[in-house]
């Protein structure tokens, strides 16, 4: 009887799926995101498949974009009425897409999820303005200083005492170079990575305000000049090819021992042992160094999900999917896409076994805890005042910080000249 009952149950499930498809009752939800590496796509698909299997009246599917063309493709899709129901976002990206009128406030959904899972305030704040919340935070990412303890020891440096200040960082780099080791690699490319790296040092140097409280651009100031002067010194100590760096190159150089220090996010954890050939205990992390009169901090990106539909059936399906996605057990599995890179934005997941039991997170638990601690010191350009300056998306979308670095590194402008150029470029962008 049990066998017959099981067969009937399966047949009933299959008939149900067919009927939804035939009679148009199945609601399709498209998700566009920018997490391109195949292993991330694979894990996300496993999470989606589990939901689809348990909810035959809804079919969720993912599509991957590239951040380099996400702005153009999204706006074109909205104009063609082909936009996804859920679009992954960053705070500055949201300000641009919101201007199309397609982004829907998520206040009620956020409140429902917040009551269940308790969002971290720092992840919510960049999406809360104009009287609404415009995206549901998904995960946070923080820039840190990664360093090779084995290469430090080889150069006679204390592997448990990384540099804390800009002066100490330069001294450390020089000592590494005296022992035949390239000390650091920082990007100077036309890429979001360069935006993030230079802005982390701008925060540390106290020049994190691109706008003043009146919305005027104040990029050209002595502290920004000092930061770019320091960054030029780091560039001078970096290997060749940094003007073409994207996400992969610094990690490759770090893992193969070409450089001993990198400024990046937490994706360094998973492949370190396999790619470096050394024990994981040789991986070190510390806050981004800052000058004597500076401050602890680095760029913190709370990624989010915008909703681009007003269809009630689709909104109900989105609500059901997100309630599933934020369950700590599911959320923890989802973060295994890239353990250490994606940090929880809810206290429910932050305190869950599903997150901390991941083998990589468990192995590097102290490093992950330091990243979570650093997130409390995180900042983001355009989001440093009580009110959000929605012009920041026009600046970030053109990677003007990265372009300014290139004016200095590639074209040979002095830091002062490059920053004046950058401020004029910003003013043009927001006209």
Buried residues in 303-326 as b, exposed as e (16+ CB within 10 A):
bbbbbbbeeeebbebbbbbbebbb
pLDDT at 62 over 70: yes
Residue 17 in domain: no
Asked if 147 and 193 sit in the same domain, the reply is: yes
Q: Residue 1 has what pLDDT?
A: 38
CA atoms within 13 A on the CB side of 280: 16
Reported as a pLDDT band with limits 50, 70 and 90, residue 179 is very high
Phi, psi torsion values for 405, nearest 5 degrees: -60, -40
Q: pLDDT at position 67, please?
A: 85
Quick one: pLDDT band at residue 165, thresholds 50, 70, 90?
very high
pLDDT single digits (tens) 32-41: 999 999 999 9
Do 67 and 129 belong to one domain? yes
Instruction: Write out pLDDT tens, residues 136-163.
Output: 999 999 999 999 999 999 999 999 999 9
- pLDDT score at 245: 97
- pTM of the predicted model, to two decimals? 0.88
Count Cα atoms within 13 angstroms, Cβ side, for 320: 19
Q: How confident is the model at residue 224 (pLDDT cuts 50, 70, 90)?
A: very high
Listed in order, strand segments (DSSP E) in 228-286 are 259-264, 283-286
User: Does 133 share its domain with 149?
Assistant: no
Say yes or no: 224 and 361 in one domain: no
The reported pLDDT for the residue numbered 144 is 98
User: Looking at residue 21, what is its pLDDT?
Assistant: 42
What pLDDT was estimated at residue 14?
42
Taking 70 as the threshold, does the pLDDT of residue 196 lie above it?
yes
Whether 1 maps to a domain, the answer reads: no
The pLDDT score that the predictor gives to residue 136 is: 98
Buried b (16+ CB within 10 A) or exposed e, 11-48: eeeeeebeebeeeeebbebbbbbbbeeeebbebbeebb
Indicate whether 168 and 149 sit together in one domain.
yes
Is residue 367 within 8 Å of 283, Cβ to Cβ? Answer: yes
Element (H, E) at 129: strand 128-129
Q: What is the pLDDT of residue 8?
A: 35
Asked if residue 15 has pLDDT above 80, the reply is no
Residue 16 within a domain: no
> What is the average pLDDT score of the chain?
92
How many independent structural domains does the chain possess? Answer: 2
What does the pLDDT read at residue 19?
37
pLDDT the model gives residue 264: 96
pLDDT at 172 over 80: yes
Which domain does 202 fall in, by range? 143-299+381-429
In a domain, 11, yes or no: no
pLDDT at 22 over 80: no
Q: In this structure, is residue 7 part of a structural domain?
A: no
- The stretch 79-106 carries a mean pLDDT of 95
Task: Let me know whether 190 and 291 are in one domain.
Answer: yes
Distance CA 318, CA 299 (A): 30
Please report the pLDDT score of residue 215 as a whole number: 87
What pLDDT does residue 386 have?
A: 64
Cβ(264)–Cβ(192) under 8 Å?
Answer: no
Q: Where does a domain end: 358, 375, 392? A: 375
Check whether residue 137 and residue 167 sit in a common domain: no
Q: Which of 100-109, 298-307, 379-388, 389-398 has the lowest mean pLDDT?
A: 379-388
Same structural domain for residues 282 and 388? yes
Burial category of 384 from C-beta neighbours within 10 Å (exposed 0-12, middle 13-18, buried 19 and up): middle
User: Burial level of 239, CB count in 10 A (0-12/13-18/19+)?
Assistant: middle
Average of pLDDT values for 116-138? Answer: 95
* Residue 15 lies inside a defined structural domain of this protein: no
Question: Which of the pair, 33 or 391, is modelled with greater confidence?
Answer: 33
Q: Mark whether 162 and 310 lie in a shared domain.
A: no
Q: With H, G, I as helix, E, B as strand and everything else as coil, classify residue 270.
A: coil
Cβ–Cβ < 8 Å for 338, 270: yes
Question: Does 125 reside within a domain?
Answer: yes
Gap between the Cα atoms of 337 and 138, Å rounded: 13
The last residue of a domain, from among 375, 394, 417: 375
Mean pLDDT value across residues 221-249: 97
Q: Are residues 116 and 244 in the same domain?
A: no
pLDDT, tens only, 291-328 = 999 999 999 989 999 999 999 999 999 999 999 999 99
pLDDT recorded at residue 9: 38
Which CATH number covers residue 125?
A: 3.40.190.10
Q: Are 419 and 205 in contact (CB under 8 A)?
A: no
Torsional sign, CA 121, 126, 129, 133: negative
User: Residue holding tokens 């415009």?
Assistant: 134
- CA 164, CA 75: separation in Å to the nearest integer? 43
Cα 38 to Cα 14: distance, rounded to the nearest angstrom: 30
**What is the C-alpha end-to-end distance of the chain, expressed in Å?**
74
The reply to whether 341 and 223 lie within a common domain is no
pLDDT at 13 over 60: no
Question: What is the reported pLDDT for 11?
Answer: 39
Residue 9 maps to a domain: no
Domain co-membership, 335 together with 245:
no
Cα 11 → chain centroid: 43
């Amino acid at each position: 009887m049990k066998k017959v009952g099981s067969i009937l149950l399966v047949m009933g499930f299959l008939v149900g799926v067919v009927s939804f498809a035939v009679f148009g009752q199945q609601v399709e939800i498209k998700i566009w995101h920018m997490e391109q590496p195949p292993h991330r796509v694979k894990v996300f698909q496993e999470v989606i498949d589990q939901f689809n299997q348990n909810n035959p009246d809804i079919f969720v599917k993912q599509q991957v974009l590239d951040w380099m063309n996400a702005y153009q493709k999204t706006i074109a899709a909205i104009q063609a009425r082909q936009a996804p129901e859920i679009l992954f976002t960053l705070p500055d990206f949201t300000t641009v897409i919101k201007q199309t009128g397609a982004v829907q406030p998520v206040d009620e959904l956020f409140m429902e999820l917040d009551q269940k899972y308790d969002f971290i305030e720092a992840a919510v704040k960049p999406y809360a303005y104009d009287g609404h919340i415009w995206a549901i935070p998904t995960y946070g990412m923080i820039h840190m200083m990664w360093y090779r303890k084995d290469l430090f020891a080889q150069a006679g440096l204390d592997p448990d005492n990384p540099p804390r200040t800009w002066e100490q960082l330069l001294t450390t780099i020089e000592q590494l170079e005296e022992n035949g080791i390239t000390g650091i690699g920082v990007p100077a490319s036309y890429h979001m990575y360069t935006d993030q790296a230079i802005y982390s040092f701008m925060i540390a140097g106290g020049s994190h305000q691109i706008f003043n409280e009146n919305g005027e651009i104040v990029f050209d100031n002595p502290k920004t000049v000092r930061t770019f002067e320091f960054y030029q010194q780091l560039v001078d100590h970096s290997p060749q090819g940094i003007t073409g760096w994207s996400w992969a190159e610094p990690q490759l150089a770090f893992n193969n021992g070409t450089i001993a220090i990198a400024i990046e996010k937490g994706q360094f954890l998973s492949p370190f042992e396999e790619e470096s050939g050394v024990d994981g205990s040789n991986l070190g992390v510390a806050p981004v160094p800052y000058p004597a009169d500076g401050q602890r901090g680095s760029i913190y990106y709370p990624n989010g999900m915008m909703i681009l539909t007003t269809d009630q059936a689709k909104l109900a399906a989105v609500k059901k999917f997100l309630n599933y996605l934020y369950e700590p057990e599911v959320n923890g599995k989802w973060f295994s896409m890239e353990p250490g890179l994606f940090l929880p934005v809810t206290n429910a997941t932050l305190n869950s076994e599903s997150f901390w039991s991941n083998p990589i997170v468990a192995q590097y638990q102290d490093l992950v805890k330091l990243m979570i601690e650093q997130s409390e010191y995180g900042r983001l350009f355009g989001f440093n005042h009580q009110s959000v300056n929605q012009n920041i998306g026009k600046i970030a979308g053109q990677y003007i910080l990265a372009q300014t670095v290139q004016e200095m590194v590639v074209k040979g402008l002095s830091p002062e000249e490059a920053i004046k150029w950058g401020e004029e470029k910003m003013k043009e962008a927001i006209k």
